[in-house]
Amino acid sequence: MRYVFNRPILGSYEISEHMMAILVAFTIAYCAVQRGHVNVDLVISRLPQRTRAILRTFTDLLSLGLFSLICWQSLYQAKVQYFAGTTSPSLFFPVFPFIIITGLGFGLLSLVVLIQFFESLSQAVGKWNQLP
């Protein structure tokens, strides 16, 4: 349609940006559940099982802190954008709902990482079996 009317479709770039924010926010936690995120196992794979579990526990704890911080700051930024009345430049969509969706996505990711942290911790301690 762009070439038929000899001008670009208004807001197509903004719509694709907003759809990408929704897509990433809802799929990042799912990817973590499937354990589909990139791991570099060159050195770690040669360590004993318990040492790997201890390192995974430490990594999960750091990830939990980082993703919780991202969630909190995203929701705070959504509040700031809401009170500022920020809208997209050409279609004038309010920006804050998309920031809230991103924050909720990172909140879900934090919950997934918390579950993985407890699984890794149970393997490191060695008292409980790994959850199925």
Domain range list for the chain: 10-125
Q: pLDDT tens digits for 11-48?
A: 888 888 899 999 999 899 999 999 888 777 788 888 88
In terms of residues, how long is the chain? 132
pLDDT at 1: 58
Judge contact between 128 and 122, C-beta under 8 A.
Answer: yes
Backbone torsions φ then ψ of 125, nearest 5 degrees: -75, -35
Q: pLDDT tens digits for 41-95?
A: 788 888 888 888 889 999 999 999 999 999 999 999 999 999 999 998 888 989 9
Question: pTM for the complete prediction?
Answer: 0.83
Return the closest-CA partner of residue 121 out of 54, 42, 29, 38.
54
